[in-house]
Structure 1
Amino acid sequence: MKTSKPLYPSRPYILLFISILSISISSIMIKSSDTPTSVAGMYRLFISVILMLPFVPWKRLRSFEMSKKDWSIVCLAGLFLGLYFLSWMESLVYTSVASSMVILSLQPLFVMIGSYFMFKERANIVTILCLVAALLGSVIIAWGDIGVSREALIGDGLSLLGTVLVSAYMLAGQKVSHKIDPNLYSVIVFFLGGSVMLVYSLLNNSSLIEYNSSDWIYFLLLALIPTIFGQYLINLLLKSLGATTISVGIIGEPILAIILAYLLLGETISIFQFIGGIMTILGMGGYFWTKSLSYTAANIKIKMDKSVN
């Protein structure tokens, strides 16, 4: 039996860090713009599709072993992505970035449950404790900025819906990641996701073209930074890291946002942010340490199998 060679142990995590850093900028960008969230999300994805089209391996399309069920999963992933962007970006209109990030940090729980039923992935007690510590750290980080009001509850509800949708999106992507090129997959799901927001924008009579030059630059930056350097890299890593590990990495987004705000905007770091940040880092570190041990054990098993054969 031929065993596939594992990826370099450090490379996927470097790319994961780049993707999380890129995504951490998106909430600040969305908050600073007055354009309709559905229009911004639509152009964010459509521009990404245009930029990525030259890199799709069109000549290899027939070589992909994709069934009708697999293609339906890809289409569902695109639908989930569009609805996720729509609900999460809209949640920032009603609630704070802090509240939204806390709810989004629940993503690993949904993904872990889904991975158990879809891929029979089991988590040991150490992994679960590390995940809980990271989640508690994320809650502590945002505790001082969480507000309670009718609008905030609407925003939190939309953020929770977005968390469920993005978890389903990542699980669907992992399901077909071994059968389809990540560039082609990203182009398809980005196009379908953008189409969802186009329909929503038309139903709400949102203007599609009457924007000034600064808004178009904003759309382009959304496509380049949080989408291509963020979401695309996540699609690329689903095959090697899996949805659960990636979702745990995304918990570190608030920490990166705090560091960026400190370095670029001169914002102070509160005691809640400091303690929560340390707890999140320790929890994430423990999780990735256990994963590295599993990776090492898998490599040893592969070498032993090769020596026997």
Structure 2
Amino acid sequence: MSVSPALQTPFSQRRRIIAALLVLVAALCFSAKAVLVKLAYRYGIDSISLLTLRMVFSLPFFIGIAIWAKNRALKEYRHIILSNQDWAYIFILGLSGYYLASMLDFMGLAYITAGLERLILFLYPTMVLGMNTLFFKKPVTRSQLIALALTYGGVILALMDRSQLGAGSNVPLGAVLIFFSGFAYAIYLVGSGQYIVRIGSLRYTCIAMIAASAGVILQHAIIYQLALFHYPVQVYVLSLIMAIFSTVLPTFMMSEAIRIIGAGNVAIIGSVGPVATIVLGYFLLGETFGLWQLMGTILVIIGVLRISLK
């Protein structure tokens, strides 16, 4: 069937290739986050303090980009005024997607390997599917049910891998924490659609990240009185790398790529994430992985791709 010229992509092949490369780089950057967290834990920092440092280093970038995006929208007469209710909803979603999800993720990484963390987090599209079915009454197709069986079956296989049972680790607790991290992020995605359409992904992401940063910093102020400057210099280097290369840059790379090549193509290329984390964990952290985890990873990627492409 021929495609109408009006429906054809307005972007050149060169721009679409560049967008695909952006997704690949962003996926690798996101995958490196778990490895950077595990490396930082070796210097005795707790999960709340590490997350706070990540947000403190990220916050100036998001504030600056938010101001730039607002000024650009004003010049182009596209600035959307948000009501108090809109601000409240965006802040709640930001706290869910980047505060609660990140907190649970960092806590879970204290118990499981980086490779297994990325694999469980990769389940979030299945959670989005479940929420859309529950709250928006969208029917679940046979293909989606098969995808759900593949994804969760793959995680079960990975959890059976004896290579995950390191000394002193609590794999079940870590897996539960990471699962609910993905669940919190899925809530953010499901609730974000209307606002991304209204005010644009750039401005929306910045507001959500600013809200999350405020929540993290406030929590640390209450618990630890912002005592953040007594760690080895390696912790600050790792936190800065995490803020720039595993938070700010990949966030906007993904947003731009989705605009150019669509979410389906982004899902295909982004599926390199769990594999990349396993490889990075093997070389940088000395983590091991066995046949069960490898088989589980393949099943999860296949299942998530089936759902994402639909």
Calculate the TM-score normalised by the size of structure 1: 0.74
Structure 2 alignment gaps of length 5 or more: 1-5
Distance 2:45 2:29 in 1: 21
- The CA deviation at 1:285 is 5.2
Check the 8 A contact 1:249/1:284 in 2, yes or no. Answer: no
CA distance in 2, matches of 1:178, 1:4: 19
If asked which structure has higher relative contact order (CA below 8 Å, sep 6+), I would say 2
CA distance in 2, matches of 1:57, 1:4: 28
- Of residues 213, 228, 241, the one that matches 1:221 is 241
Q: Secondary structure at the match of 1:93?
A: coil
Q: Are the aligned partners of 2:111 and 2:171 in contact in 1 as well (CA < 8 Å)? A: yes
Correspondence for 1:165 among 170, 184, 187: 184
The corresponding residue for 1:271 is: 291
Distance 1:26 1:181 in 2: 26
Q: Distance in 2 between matches of 1:275 and 1:213?
A: 39
Checking the alignment, whether the CA contact within 8 Å between 2:119 and 2:300 is kept in structure 1 is: no
**Deviation at residue 196 of structure 1 after TM alignment:** 1.3
- How many Å apart are 1:286 and its aligned residue? 4.7
For 1:286-301, list aligned pairs within 5 A.
Answer: 286-287=306-307, 291=310
Q: Hey, what does 1:301 align to over in structure 2?
A: none
Q: Distance in 2 between matches of 1:268 and 1:37?
A: 23
Is 1:187 aligned with 2:194? no
- Among the aligned pairs, what percent are the same residue? 17
- Aligned in 2, Cα 1:41/1:263: closer, same or farther, shift over 3 Å? closer
Whole-Å separation in 1 of the counterparts to 2:140 and 2:20? 20
Tell me, in whole angstroms, the C-alpha distance in 1 between the residues paired with 2:153 and 2:10.
31
SS at match of 2:110: helix
Q: Deviations over 1:57-80 (max 9, x none)?
A: 232257333542433322112211
Quick check: 1:57 aligned with 2:57? no
Instruction: Check conservation: 2:119, 2:297, Cα contact below 8 A.
Output: no
* SS of corresponding position for 1:65: coil
In structure 1, how many angstroms separate the alpha carbons of the residues matched to 2:169 and 2:236? 33
Task: Specify the SS of the correspondent of 1:25.
Answer: helix
Give matches, 1:122-133, under 5 Å: 122-133=139-150
| Aligned counterparts, 1:48-197, within 5 A | 48-55=58-65, 56-59=68-71, 60-61=73-74, 63-68=78-83, 69-80=85-96, 81-97=98-114, 100-116=117-133, 122-144=139-161, 145-147=163-165, 151-197=170-216
Aligned partners of 1:116, 1:235: CA distance in 2, in Å? 25
Distance 1:233 1:117, change over 3 A: farther
Residues 163-213 of structure 1: per-residue CA shift (max 9 Å, x gap): 221111222332311112333223222221111111221222262222343
Is 2:232 the counterpart of 1:203? no
Kindly report the root-mean-square deviation, in angstroms, between the aligned alpha carbons of the 2 structures.
Answer: 3.7
1:177 alignment partner, SS class: helix
Which whole-Å CA distance do the structure 1 matches of 2:306 and 2:275 have between them?
16
